[in-house]
Amino acid sequence: MDSEKISKYRAEVIERFINVESLLNAIICQHYFNKLKKSFYYEVLYDEYFSFGLRRSIFKKIIKTVDNKKVNELGRLNTIRNYFSHVNQEFFEITKLEKSNGKLKEKPEGKILDPRNIINEVDFESLYSEFMKMVGGVEIYLYRIFTEKGGTTIKVVKH
């Protein structure tokens, strides 16, 4: 897979995951304050040390009837997001012979190895497809929870 396509996928996955995290933050705020309290939302929930795992754990504690399938999907979305955010370094181990001016020359070939199983290359195409199939349903689920807790949104119209 070429690096331009991976970059495009990376941007889409990260943008959509930001939306998922924002929804979780809104649910947590709504639960504890019955509104989106700006200082808590930004100073606490968006602190760089406030991990996604902690958000998910709090979410599971404050929701009376948790859809375990959706909670598991949240974890999987985070794993996929982490692949796109942190796994990108090509490893050059294999060389390919190619003819150039009648002579055989070695041409390095790089792979992006899977940190969980370094025998395999990361399949960004299938990770992207899996993420995109799952994320919409999770966003709808989280938005429903937010509104059930009394949260409201406004529509901003640009002129």
pLDDT in tens, 59-106: 999 998 889 999 999 999 998 998 887 656 554 555 666 777 777 777
37 found inside a domain: yes
**pLDDT at position 146, please?**
96
**pLDDT at position 104, please?**
74
Mean pLDDT across 121-133:
86
**pLDDT at position 144, please?**
95
What is the chain's alpha carbon radius of gyration, rounded to the nearest angstrom?
21
**pLDDT at position 94, please?**
54
**pLDDT at position 76, please?**
94
Whether 73 and 59 have beta carbons less than 8 Å apart is answered as no
**pLDDT at position 123, please?**
78
Both 81 and 93 in a single domain? no
Is the pLDDT score of 129 beyond 60? yes
Res. 145 pLDDT band, cuts 50 70 90 = very high
**pLDDT at position 54, please?**
96
Report in angstroms the alpha-carbon separations of 159 from 82, 125, 153, 156. Answer: 37, 38, 19, 10
pLDDT in tens, 24-60: 999 999 999 999 999 999 999 999 999 999 999 999 9
53 found inside a domain: yes
Dmax (CA) for the chain in angstroms is 74
| Neighbouring C-alpha atoms within 13 Å toward the C-beta of 61 | 9
**pLDDT at position 1, please?**
61
The total domain count for the chain is 2
154 found inside a domain: no
How far is 5 from 2, CA to CA, in rounded Å?
6
Continuous segment of H or E residues that includes residue 49: none
In terms of residue numbers, what domain contains 129? 3-87+122-148
111 found inside a domain: yes
Both 29 and 68 in a single domain? yes
Q: Which residue has the higher pLDDT, 3 or 38?
A: 38
